A and B are shown apart, each in its own frame.
Chain A
Amino acid sequence: MTDQDAGPAILTRGLTRRFGDLVAVDHLDLSVPRGQVYGFLGPNGCGKSTTIRMLCGLLLPSEGDIQVLDLDIPRQAEALKQRIGYMTQSFSLYRDLSVRENLDFVARLFGLSRGRRRERLDQLFHTYRLGTLADQLAGTLSGGQRQRLALAAAVLNDPELLFLDEPTSAVDPQSRRDFWDVLFGLADGGTTLLVSTHYMDEAERCHRLAILQDGALVAEGSPARLKEEMRGVSLLVTTANPRRAQHALDDQEGVRSCAQIGATLRVLVDDEATLATVRQRVRDVDPDATVAVTDVNLEDVFVAATLGRPEHGEARS
């Protein structure tokens, strides 16, 4: 532990990336504390991968400053490479090499001696349950196995900072849980993790979250705080005919979003005052319907944030 460890792992100021006319990342100010699991949440194409690529030094920013592990990026990107790990969104190891050959190759790139390589590979086989798959070609692995291999390759050099770009797409719920246990293990060991995801349950587990929309940061904080500070109320409508009820609420002033969940309807409204109007509308369709206020969840936060309401409490300028 050096005195450098005081600052945040990642710090960006006005980080921007344009592709032609498209602004993929728009003046992003991020501060990611060390030793935490930091989540990147946002819809498809909001700039998660682009941001991660710039933070790794793979892509030049169009504008703005980046500091990662107290290094100036992209100027000191080469020095950064020894200290970070990156698990790409799509599988980027060699499908025509076996699990062992892939990891051995990566270990050699990081300059591990023959003895150290063997030792490290055995460790990784054990931690990521790859022992029985060691001689199988990576291309023939299942989605979950492949993802464990990719993670093993990304952490092979014991990185201080690990980037994971949608690591759990194409993985079953149980494997996802196991995967997150491993991530928390890494965080306990002092590694900083930056994870992008679409899954609310995964976002919920992060220490802190950044919600991105069209390349801009629209909300930031711990999941609990984000829920607390969200302006808006969640309603649960129970009705025999949720689809017709949903139609009735279309274009209703004060109703931000409406989603059917089984036989119920989850409605996000601006404030308690809207509750009466909603109840009125729904009963027009189904006189037996009930409407009750329910706890705000992270999905509500996400929907509220990405609907682009400028008055949203957490939106930063």
Chain B
Amino acid sequence: MIGFSVHRLWAVVTKELRQLKRDRLTYAMIVGIPIMQLLLFGYAINMDVRHLPAAVVDQAHSSRSRQVIDELHQSRVFDFLYAPATSSGAQTLLRNGDVKVIVVVPADFEHRLTTDQPPLQLIVDGSDQVVQQAARQLSQFPVRAYLRGQSLSPPSSPVAVAAYYNPRRQAPLNTVPGLIGVILTMTMVMFTAIALVREREHGNQEFLITTPLSSAELTLGKVLPFIGIGVIQTSLVLLLGHLIFQVPVRGPLLDLYLAALVFIVASLALGILISTVVRSQFQAMQAAIFTFLPQILLSGFMFPFEGMPRPAQWFAEILPLTHFVRLSRGIMLRGADLTSLWPELLALGVFSAVALGVAILRVNKRLD
């Protein structure tokens, strides 16, 4: 082998940047994907529930029962569409699918408040996961505390309840740190795999092999620009997350960027590995999505890590996104720094080394 040449590496990097500049679509996707995902996960795919159609059966008819109902209404979890007189009338509505939830305020509501008996009754459509989750939220509704506070202070301060319930504030807070990782995974893995395969598919490789360019120089030169792109995407999500959803970075910003950098390298390594397995750009895209799905589902980004079965948790430990979600949440939300999160960095490092190692073995074979 001829030695590694920085000049040749740089020649490849500048060539890639030139091509990227002309590739409007990729260009648009690099900026478009983060913005779209941020808005999508921030607004649309809100994993907290709002505006469930509901019926309320008020059997107490007291001012306090009306206050509680009004408060529930303002939480926006429920839209009280019906107020039938009897609970059997409400159950018909539930069966017909007109409502998903029935809130019953029993006749002895005032009495129950002073005892250990639950003051409110909730009848839900058990066939709907979303509704069950809402019911869980509601069971934490501080009816007693609220009513006690209410009796002490003027009626114009239901803020404590509103903040507790406002899901618009909480969801992006939890989502954005992981979302940085999701976006980086998507673009880094797919774009690198495609970019590397393109050279082969377009027949450029056949000419390049007869020049002094080594495959290490070619591969590295092609992926280096993506590190810059990844850093730009990270900054974009952080900035928009801050401006639109007031997502904070409580830990050191430098540590967050370092974590992102290590994660970018791990994703590039995965992209390089994919490129050595597939034969066409289309296959590269499929393979990238194939690795993307388990990452988004099992990393703890979408569903709580603790809620998954053990084997799924073990498997998730292999995935780079799992570790990055922990890193970014730790730094952004808990204000941790890298010294306390080093095992996650180490895991990403090991993943990169293994992926690159396998890729190098496969490239040597392929050069035939």
Please report A residues at the B interface, Cβ cutoff 8 Å.
53, 56-60, 78, 81-82, 84-86, 88, 90-97, 101, 105-106, 108-111, 153
Contact = CB atoms under 8 A, between A and B. Distances in A.
Given A78-B1, A105-B11, A108-B11, A94 B210 contact: no
A97 B19 contact: yes
Contacts of B310: none
A94 B19 contact: yes
21 contacts: A58-B206, A58-B210, A60-B368, A78-B1, A81-B210, A81-B212, A85-B210, A88-B203, A92-B205, A93-B204, A105-B11, A105-B15, A108-B7, A108-B8, A108-B11, A109-B11, A109-B211, A109-B212, A110-B212, A111-B5, A153-B207
B23 interface: yes
Contacts, number: 71
Interface in B8-57: 8, 10-11, 15, 18-19, 22-23
A96 B23 contact: yes
Interface in B206-243: 206-213
Contacts of A111: 5, 7-8, 212
Nearest to B8: A109
The secondary structure that dominates the A interface is loop
The secondary structure that dominates the B interface is helix
Contacts of A88: 203, 206-207
Given A96-B19, A111-B5, A81 B211 contact: yes
B160 interface: no
B210 to A, nearest CB: 4
B2 interface: yes
Contacts of B206: 53, 58, 86, 88, 92
A112 to B, nearest CB: 10
Given A90-B203, A96-B22, A78 B8 contact: no
Given A53-B206, A81-B210, 7 more contacts: A58-B206, A85-B210, A86-B206, A88-B203, A92-B206, A97-B15, A108-B11
Name the interface size band of chain B. Answer: 20 to 34
A190 to B, nearest CB: 20
Nearest to B213: A109
B211 A106 contact: yes
Residue in B10, B211, B212 with the greatest tally of chain A CB atoms within 10 Å = B211
Interface of B: 1-2, 5, 7-8, 10-11, 15, 18-19, 22-23, 202-213, 368
A96 B23 CA distance: 9
Contacts of B207: 86, 88, 92-93, 153
Residue in A84, A96, A108, A110 with the greatest tally of chain B CB atoms within 10 Å = A108
Nearest to A105: B15
B2 to A, nearest CB: 5
Contacts of B210: 56-58, 81, 84-86
A92 B15 contact: no
A59 B8 CA distance: 23
A85 B209 CA distance: 11
Nearest to B210: A86
Contacts of B205: 92
A240 to B, nearest CB: 49
A101 B2 contact: no
B13 to A, nearest CB: 11
B282 to A, nearest CB: 19
A101 B202 CA distance: 17
A149 to B, nearest CB: 12
A245 B84 CA distance: 101
Contacts of A56: 209-210
B203 A92 contact: yes
A91 B19 contact: no
A81 B212 CA distance: 6
Which 9 A-B residue pairings sit nearest by Cβ, starting from the closest?
A: A108-B11, A92-B207, A86-B210, A109-B211, A92-B203, A109-B213, A88-B206, A105-B15, A96-B22
Contacts of A96: 19, 22-23
Contacts of B203: 88, 90-92
A60 to B, nearest CB: 6
A59 B202 CA distance: 18
Contacts of B7: 108, 111
B204 A92 contact: yes
Contacts of B211: 81, 106, 109-110
Contacts of A85: 210
Contacts of B213: 109
A58 B5 contact: no
Residue in A91, A105, A110, A153 with the greatest tally of chain B CB atoms within 10 Å = A105
A91 B2 CA distance: 26
A85 B212 CA distance: 11
A152 to B, nearest CB: 12
